[in-house]
Structure 1
Amino acid sequence: MSELSHRRRLLVLGICCMSLLIVSLDNTVLNVALPSMRADLNASLSGLQWTIDGYTVVLAALLMLMGSTADRIGRRKVFQAGLVLFTVGSLLCSLAPTLEWLVAFRMVQAVGGAMLNPVAMSIITNVFTEPRERARAIGVWGGVVGISMAAGPLVGGVLVESVGWRSIFWINLPVGLAALLLTARYVPESRAPKPRRVDLVGQLLVIALLGSLTYAIIEAPVAGPGSPRILSCAGVALVALVTLVLYEPRREEPLIDLRFFGSAPFSGATVIAVSAFAALGGFLFVNTLYLQEIRGLSALDAGVWMLPMAAMTGVCAPLSGRLVGSRGPRLPLLIAGVAMATSGVLFAGFDAEASVPLLFTGYVLFGLGFGMVNAPITNTAVSGMPRAQAGVAAAVASTSRQVGATLGVAVIGAVLAAGVHGSADVEGFAAASRGAWWIIAGCGVCVLLVGAATTGSWAARTTSRTAARLDPEAAGNQRTEGARA
């Protein structure tokens, strides 16, 4: 391609990364601000969970719909609408008078966020068509997550300490507006040649499944796991899951095309995404409360303490992208699994909270592991699949991340709530959170085992067969691409 077209591709990548930056930065900044929100809005522990999960549930529920909608009506158009909604939602969050309104406005943000990440990844996939170049672009994309993790705690700490927690949402406004203007000027419009129709029943089932399951997990410590309210929500989630599995294969154009999961790497990437982001969501939630409410650190000091983890993520994410491009996803996944599992074991088995050297080591290892895991997830999800379904494939991968983050905060927050019981010292908190850390360690083991099992030549062959079933005309080209990935 010409030098001008190369520059244009890099500019498109930069614009897409801006959207990821505001979404990722919003989450990391929010975690640092949780204790201040708790004091100002008189929120319970479950209320803090809802400020995070109210966003991630809506995001996870709508990502696949928005991915297929973008494939149908135009990716740039949906991307621009997402920027508008996310920016407006951020402004509303900064004005929220109560916790309930804050959660509601976070949901507005989530509707916009659902139009950004999977659509941006679909744009990148269609702009960077050569597998190695695309893997590097995805590595840069993953590096933005690291930048947001590194900058988020520090930026959030400064804003919370100097202005107040409401100001954390203001930083999305100029970035969102700039990305909106640049998108209109530089991002090309693209659509799938054969877009799918809306699956309204499937969409409602996904909303019912994620919403009822999350509610049951978060509220169980307060209401009791055997209460009628919790049992009813669990029943709704189970019925929705069974109905979804039975209904979707019968549709000609389903919301979730279960044939994607015939690819071992794609299925593995889904499980790994849920595991890794569950570990991240729980890790950030537990550490934020520990550093500020147990150790008594300010928001800024807490951000500084978590900087080793964020810095390692920022360093390792682009390195992981290069490794995926040159050697495939196996090595980064193995490194990620070992590092994340070891970090969890340090906290669960060796009380790392009570030892500064162990605490630092645990942060570094978790940042290393999480930095390595993101690029393989994204690249594996879209590589080898027909580019006509790029938006759907990317949306499933993004949905898996958000489902993981939702479950991580819900489950680990519930475990913590059940064990704390007023523990207000390092030793007491360490004991109460031990179960949460074992869950995080287990997530790391899952990344390791699934990564080892779903990479290699056998896995690539399953991807080729899946691509042939999804798009027989493109099977030849996609088979070559899947083998390289």
Structure 2
Amino acid sequence: MPSERRSWVPLLAVCSGYFMVILDVTVINVAVPVIGRELSASLTGIQWITDGYTLVLAGFLLTGGALGDRLGNRRVFCAGVALFTVASAACALAPGTAFLVVARLVEGLGAALIVPGSLALLQQSYPERAARARAFGLWGAMAGIAASAGPLLGGLLVSTAGWRWVFLINLPVGAACLTLTLRHVSRSPRRADRALDVPAQIAVVAAVALLTAALNEAGRRGWSDPAVLAGLGLAVLSAAAFALRERLARTPALPLALLRSRALGGGAAIGLLFNFGFYGMVFTASLEFQHQRGYSALGTGLALFPAVAMTMFASVLSGRLSRRTGDRPLVISGMLLAALGLAGWAAAGADPAYAALVLPMMAAGFGTSFALTGSTATVMGAAPPAYAGAASALFNTTRQIGSATGVALGGSLLASAATYGSGIRTSMLIGAAAYLAAALLARWCVPARAERSTPA
């Protein structure tokens, strides 16, 4: 029994780091109005406090994955945790807006080093397929729990201890994560032959950052705004430059042959689609509860709790079932259930009672988390060990893009719809369509149980 308990310590270490990263995406939304008042921040400053972290996180994920593969994933993961924790302390002590914005950017850089290494370290720590499936399931649950619990925790901290505790809470978590990782997670191999292709990294950072920034602005300005269109166009050009560089590079950061893999490329696309559906739902639901129903930030967090509560249960269950069924049935059924949930919200009417929305939210939360384990295993199983960090980075980058797109489209639909209720219903129907597309894609790219093989 003691050895069995020790075997789960790496999971605790890795998931605590990942939890911090995702929590800081949403917990700031409740605190930023108070921060703006106390620091006399402009609207632009408030936007950078909120979005700067996400931009750097999304933009540098592939760089973090490449560094992990070259220098060792444990080394880069620990460096990311240390940087994230120090930056969180700086955020908490910020005397003004400019200082806080810079600290948030550094925090995002630390997060970009943490996320790719988290999956690579789980794959390294749990080579046996059943244990790895459970670990991936709990890792995925952290995202849903942290993202949805952010408003609730933020509301509690801001209303009791003050906004600086939104960042100070990361200090003990970061210290515990670093200690557990150094003591209980094995060193990762270093691959000095994997050169860091700087031009390719610059191109991908530009592509993802420009795309994320354009999507964030689309929700505020509209899709036809010149700045949004310019950002999208430059993002496409940067992506084309990355693809060209990878084709010509002697040691590419992410070989194009891997991207052409049905399992890896398709699994990453599924991640984009279900993040689009889930985070679009969370965003539009938050606006519905606060702006239309008059809920407080804390009340909104409690209203979203049914979706959060399902994530942990679904991840644990899918991790256990995957040993018997394989990943494909779980991913397909999870996506279909989530699609049914969002379609049920859309069918509930223009101004449904909250009780009518509980089951749709539970279905979306359960289905997304139920499918995440299998899609994660599909992506990581398709990559050779030498590219575990890069595969993890690709998967999480596409998920970040899906989240940003879902939020941006949801904001645009609410702003342009004739009524708030019609905008919500349209957003939910589009989210349901994304889930259905993910289910169809899973039928094609997620291996059946008989086709699965454990990576060396």
Indicate whether the TM-score tops 0.5.
Answer: yes
User: Is the 8 Å Cα contact of residues 13 and 137 (structure 1) preserved in structure 2?
Assistant: yes
Question: How far apart, CA to CA, are the structure 2 residues paired with 1:21 and 1:228?
Answer: 36
3-state SS of paired residue (1:433):
helix
Match for residue 240 of structure 1? 238
Q: Alignment partner for residue 434 of structure 1, among 405, 409, 425? A: 425
Shift of residue 113, structure 1, vs aligned partner:
0.8
For each residue in 1:162-220, what CA deviation from the matched residue of structure 2 results, as whole angstroms up to 9, or x when unmatched? Answer: 23344222211111012122333332211245651111111111122122223333334
Q: Which moved more, 1:70-79 or 1:224-233?
A: 224-233
Match for residue 207 of structure 1? 205
Alignment of 1:30-179 (within 5 A): 30-33=28-31, 51-96=49-94, 102-148=100-146, 151-179=149-177
Relative distance call for 1:25 and 1:250 in structure 2 (3 A) is same
Relative distance call for 1:231 and 1:406 in structure 2 (3 A) is closer
1:399 aligns with 2:397: yes
Question: How far apart, CA to CA, are the structure 2 residues paired with 1:20 and 1:398?
Answer: 11
Q: Alignment partner for residue 336 of structure 1, among 298, 315, 334? A: 334
1:481 aligns with 2:454: yes
3-state SS of paired residue (2:104):
helix
Question: How far apart, CA to CA, are the structure 1 residues paired with 2:148 and 2:429?
Answer: 25
Match for residue 325 of structure 1? 323
Q: Which moved more, 1:75-84 or 1:191-200?
A: 191-200
User: Is the 8 Å Cα contact of residues 125 and 185 (structure 2) preserved in structure 1?
Assistant: no
Question: Which amino acid letter does the alignment assign opposite residue 240 of structure 2?
Answer: V
Question: How far apart, CA to CA, are the structure 1 residues paired with 2:431 and 2:281?
Answer: 7
For each residue in 1:332-388, what CA deviation from the matched residue of structure 2 results, as whole angstroms up to 9, or x when unmatched? Answer: 212221122222223334337532222112211111112212211211111143222
For each residue in 1:89-146, what CA deviation from the matched residue of structure 2 results, as whole angstroms up to 9, or x when unmatched? Answer: 2233334566666554332211111111221221121121122221122223233335
3-state SS of paired residue (1:196):
coil
Q: Alignment partner for residue 346 of structure 2, among 345, 348, 355? A: 348
Match for residue 470 of structure 1? none
Q: Alignment partner for residue 451 of structure 1, among 419, 442, 451? A: 442
For each residue in 1:8-63, what CA deviation from the matched residue of structure 2 results, as whole angstroms up to 9, or x when unmatched? Answer: 4322222112112222333343345466567776776x987765543233222212
Question: Which amino acid letter does the alignment assign opposite residue 160 of structure 2?
Answer: S
3-state SS of paired residue (2:127):
coil
Identity %: 35
Question: Which amino acid letter does the alignment assign opposite residue 431 of structure 2?
Answer: I
Relative distance call for 1:181 and 1:148 in structure 2 (3 A) is same
Question: Which amino acid letter does the alignment assign opposite residue 376 of structure 2?
Answer: T
User: Is the 8 Å Cα contact of residues 277 and 405 (structure 1) preserved in structure 2?
Assistant: yes
Relative distance call for 1:32 and 1:63 in structure 2 (3 A) is same
Question: Which amino acid letter does the alignment assign opposite residue 397 of structure 1?
Answer: F
Question: Which amino acid letter does the alignment assign opposite residue 407 of structure 2?
Answer: V
Shift of residue 82, structure 1, vs aligned partner:
0.7
Q: Alignment partner for residue 302 of structure 2, among 297, 301, 304? A: 304
The TM-score, its normalising length taken from structure 1, stands at 0.84
Question: Which amino acid letter does the alignment assign opposite residue 278 of structure 2?
Answer: L
Shift of residue 389, structure 1, vs aligned partner:
2.0
Q: Alignment partner for residue 356 of structure 2, among 341, 355, 358? A: 358
Question: How far apart, CA to CA, are the structure 1 residues paired with 2:394 and 2:450?
Answer: 19
The TM-score, its normalising length taken from structure 2, stands at 0.89
Question: How far apart, CA to CA, are the structure 2 residues paired with 1:333 and 1:417?
Answer: 33
3-state SS of paired residue (1:280):
helix
Relative distance call for 1:195 and 1:53 in structure 2 (3 A) is farther
User: Is the 8 Å Cα contact of residues 56 and 406 (structure 1) preserved in structure 2?
Assistant: no
Question: How far apart, CA to CA, are the structure 2 residues paired with 1:391 and 1:141?
Answer: 15
User: Is the 8 Å Cα contact of residues 146 and 311 (structure 1) preserved in structure 2?
Assistant: no
Q: Which moved more, 1:360-369 or 1:34-43?
A: 34-43
Q: Over aligned residues, Cα RMSD in angstroms?
A: 3.0
Alignment of 1:347-386 (within 5 A): 347-351=345-349, 354-386=352-384
3-state SS of paired residue (2:306):
helix
Question: How far apart, CA to CA, are the structure 1 residues paired with 2:339 and 2:350?
Answer: 14
3-state SS of paired residue (1:122):
helix
Question: How far apart, CA to CA, are the structure 2 residues paired with 1:282 and 1:443?
Answer: 11
Question: Which amino acid letter does the alignment assign opposite residue 481 of structure 1?
Answer: T
Shift of residue 309, structure 1, vs aligned partner:
0.7
Question: How far apart, CA to CA, are the structure 1 residues paired with 2:79 and 2:367?
Answer: 34
Question: How far apart, CA to CA, are the structure 1 residues paired with 2:399 and 2:198?
Answer: 23
Relative distance call for 1:6 and 1:388 in structure 2 (3 A) is farther
- Ranges in structure 1 where 5+ consecutive residues have no aligned partner: 421-427, 461-478
For each residue in 1:399-441, what CA deviation from the matched residue of structure 2 results, as whole angstroms up to 9, or x when unmatched? Answer: 2222222222233233334448xxxxxxx42233333323322
Shift of residue 221, structure 1, vs aligned partner:
6.1
Relative distance call for 1:390 and 1:291 in structure 2 (3 A) is same
Relative distance call for 1:101 and 1:281 in structure 2 (3 A) is farther
Question: Which amino acid letter does the alignment assign opposite residue 441 of structure 1?
Answer: A
Shift of residue 442, structure 1, vs aligned partner:
2.2
Question: How far apart, CA to CA, are the structure 2 residues paired with 1:301 and 1:259?
Answer: 48
3-state SS of paired residue (1:481):
coil
The total of aligned residue pairs comes to: 455
Question: How far apart, CA to CA, are the structure 2 residues paired with 1:441 and 1:101?
Answer: 41
Question: Which amino acid letter does the alignment assign opposite residue 437 of structure 1?
Answer: M
- Ranges in structure 2 where 5+ consecutive residues have no aligned partner: none
User: Is the 8 Å Cα contact of residues 338 and 364 (structure 2) preserved in structure 1?
Assistant: yes
Question: Which amino acid letter does the alignment assign opposite residue 358 of structure 1?
Answer: A
Question: How far apart, CA to CA, are the structure 1 residues paired with 2:151 and 2:42?
Answer: 21
For each residue in 1:64-99, what CA deviation from the matched residue of structure 2 results, as whole angstroms up to 9, or x when unmatched? Answer: 221221222222221221111111222333345666
